[in-house]
Structure 1
């Protein structure tokens, strides 16, 4: 039974929302960040990068305290206002590729995360979890929802459709040419109908935001242990999420770029690769894998197609069927001696939305020796791996939609 709860979001005014909304901090180059803050005093980047005001880098607890100060300044200036009634928020994104994503921003139960009915498919790093927990405890808010996905549901879809007949609270387009819409849903009967449908569900799945959800759970445990009057209704019992139906989730993969061949010659590498793959030299013609267990490779100015030899690999779990895991177990670890996919400096990743031309250009530059293209995984694979209690290798999925910070804020 999934618990989904309305909350009183803190939100930018309609006039400023397009200026406030920001991508994830790490997605900007330093030059992009500074340019946006130079010319846009409303950008949420001013809150999460408070040292900019003093032209210096601020870190740790000092940064967290300044983030809180900048946030309070935005509230005091009337840039942010808080809704009077607990609400769900119907949120729609139409990106430049004309893909549409429509779901519900709501508060989800940290207890459901603890019970593993909010399921994950990625490992998290304990230090990052703890850092974000401390950050939220200090600043007192979270401005970026965790992306969750749920089975398509006709009743929920109908409520969303009815809500969209009303005037949108927000409608704005970003410089990425993505258009964002938000409707406030505070009708108690409609809220109850959505809650009843989620109560019938056994599980929902984290699509993106594993560290934020893990940190929210740590916060819940910490605050609960310190509160002798804990009753389960406190704000720390929940974390902000954006829930979209499974049919709307878009999963891309990450291609792999490797800096060297681990001391092997091109010929020796191909001979060793032959143990696991049927290899075809495509010359200058790029090969695009069309189905699982096919890979493209670019090496020494030529494209290759790789077809996994089924007799050379055992499929015992859902993870064994994941192309990112297959490539790791057959090539990266045994042949190229790359064991730590998260930290080894010899491997880099490029979003598979970038085509083979990107792989070719960086390998031809000499920065990398070989590049591999993978098929994207799908929602069913993600769910099966989560259901079996397994986790995907790092950079297995690049999931859309990508959310903006500062549009709805959950206060603790």
Structure 2
């Protein structure tokens, strides 16, 4: 059963949340992070992307970057952050385009991650783990949450709804139009909430595999040094699956693998039914839309989905990879190929059109989103989803809740 704990969060001081909160550290590059934090001394990017405060020729993995992160973290704690005086659970709500998702902020158990009570669906990269492990252990703080989900629970929903009747700790709308609000769960409800989560058999990582893996590695590192502290728990926001929205993760390919336009289209027609599309977005599972020769095409791959035998093989991203990207376009490993790029659905299909029409890419594929049920089924099978299968929106903000270890 899932074990989640209250903790004394480090949070933005009253009225400072909008100035502190930032997008996750890994959704922008260095120059974008610098631009976002320009003129904003309280921006949490000075902690999560501290290289922006150093000369551009300094590697983001240099010793000076982690030292600067600690310096900025300590300064921010003095100037813009406060720590709760006792452990608590919190509620965090995000509203994007009228759609709300609300989760419980808690400290999840590293043991649950290590023993697969918290289930994964992605591989992690060592260099990203190395970076966040060093960041966490240097600051002795987990600065961004792992995004977890679970099959809906009426008992948890009831406590969340009750908590949201109180005055919020913060309530602001970010520059991208997403509204962020937070509450502290009342002390009389904490034991009830903990018991309700104990009835949840498993949790699933929706996003934040590297943060979770780094929390596990940090616990082991600090334990080996005799200073584990609270590192046996990690910062998480836990959402009911029924509220989540997964957007498509679309594909761009930069060339046709030596084929002419005519030969490429003929090869596609040999694989599936191809017809002119009346809209950019595909109609549902098994349908992929292709932007090619300045127009949209419908690729009907439903027969391929029906013939697939495993949950992974039935994913639209797997069907596209197995039938078009690999055999026709020669994309053997999308994790490492330099001939393919991935575009989160938040950018819309207009981004695909723009990059193909500009000549940067030759062809684009608009996907139907992977579902939360598919994600859970694959994690339950202890399997790994293909790369770039899910894009969650809205993004949780860093800096609103921090777990000090």
TM-score (norm 1): 0.92
Alignment correspondent of 2:78: 76
> Residue 3 of structure 1 contacts residue 112 of structure 1 at CA under 8 Å; is this kept in 2?
yes
Q: Could you tell me how far apart the structure 2 residues matched to 1:396 and 1:23 are?
A: 20
Cα distance change of structure 1 residues 21 and 57 upon mapping to structure 2, 3 Å threshold:
farther
> Residue 166 of structure 2 contacts residue 183 of structure 2 at CA under 8 Å; is this kept in 1?
yes
> Residue 306 of structure 2 contacts residue 314 of structure 2 at CA under 8 Å; is this kept in 1?
no
Q: Give CA-to-partner distance per residue, 1:331-366, whole Å, 9 cap, x none.
A: 111111112212322111222244443322221211
> Residue 3 of structure 2 contacts residue 108 of structure 2 at CA under 8 Å; is this kept in 1?
yes
Equivalenced residue count is: 403
> Residue 253 of structure 1 contacts residue 395 of structure 1 at CA under 8 Å; is this kept in 2?
no
Q: Does 1:183 align with 2:183?
A: yes
Q: Give CA-to-partner distance per residue, 1:8-45, whole Å, 9 cap, x none.
A: 11111012111011112344466654444332221112
Q: Could you tell me how far apart the structure 1 residues matched to 2:304 and 2:144 are?
A: 45
Q: 1:151, CA displacement in angstroms? A: 1.4
Is there any run of 5+ residues in structure 1 with no aligned partner, and where?
A: none
Is there any run of 5+ residues in structure 2 with no aligned partner, and where?
A: none
Alignment correspondent of 2:303: 310
Cα distance change of structure 1 residues 274 and 38 upon mapping to structure 2, 3 Å threshold:
closer
Q: Does 1:252 align with 2:253?
A: no
Cα distance change of structure 1 residues 346 and 198 upon mapping to structure 2, 3 Å threshold:
same
Q: Could you tell me how far apart the structure 2 residues matched to 1:287 and 1:364 are?
A: 15
SS at match of 1:274: helix
Q: Does 1:401 align with 2:394?
A: yes
Q: Does 1:223 align with 2:225?
A: no
Alignment correspondent of 1:131: 131
Question: What is the root-mean-square deviation of aligned Cα atoms in Å?
Answer: 2.1
- 1:267 aligned to which of 240, 262, 285: 262
SS at match of 2:231: helix
> Residue 286 of structure 1 contacts residue 356 of structure 1 at CA under 8 Å; is this kept in 2?
no
Q: Does 1:300 align with 2:293?
A: yes
SS at match of 2:290: strand
Alignment correspondent of 2:110: 110
Q: 1:219, CA displacement in angstroms? A: 1.6
Q: Could you tell me how far apart the structure 2 residues matched to 1:333 and 1:104 are?
A: 41
SS at match of 1:124: coil
> Residue 133 of structure 1 contacts residue 218 of structure 1 at CA under 8 Å; is this kept in 2?
yes
Q: Could you tell me how far apart the structure 1 residues matched to 2:53 and 2:368 are?
A: 44
Question: Counterparts of 1:12-411 in structure 2 under 5 Å?
Answer: 12-28=12-28, 33-53=33-53, 55=55, 58=58, 59=60, 60-77=62-79, 79-95=80-96, 97-187=97-187, 189-227=188-226, 234-282=229-277, 285-308=278-301, 310=303, 314-411=307-404
Q: Give CA-to-partner distance per residue, 1:252-292, whole Å, 9 cap, x none.
A: 1111111111001122222322332111234xx43532121
Q: Give CA-to-partner distance per residue, 1:111-155, whole Å, 9 cap, x none.
A: 001111101111111222122112211121112101001111111
Q: 1:221, CA displacement in angstroms? A: 2.5
Cα distance change of structure 1 residues 132 and 33 upon mapping to structure 2, 3 Å threshold:
closer
Q: Could you tell me how far apart the structure 2 residues matched to 1:129 and 1:347 are?
A: 24
Q: Could you tell me how far apart the structure 2 residues matched to 1:335 and 1:357 are?
A: 25
Cα distance change of structure 1 residues 375 and 309 upon mapping to structure 2, 3 Å threshold:
closer
SS at match of 2:93: strand
> Residue 50 of structure 1 contacts residue 67 of structure 1 at CA under 8 Å; is this kept in 2?
yes
Cα distance change of structure 1 residues 225 and 34 upon mapping to structure 2, 3 Å threshold:
closer
Q: 1:206, CA displacement in angstroms? A: 0.5
> Residue 7 of structure 1 contacts residue 107 of structure 1 at CA under 8 Å; is this kept in 2?
yes
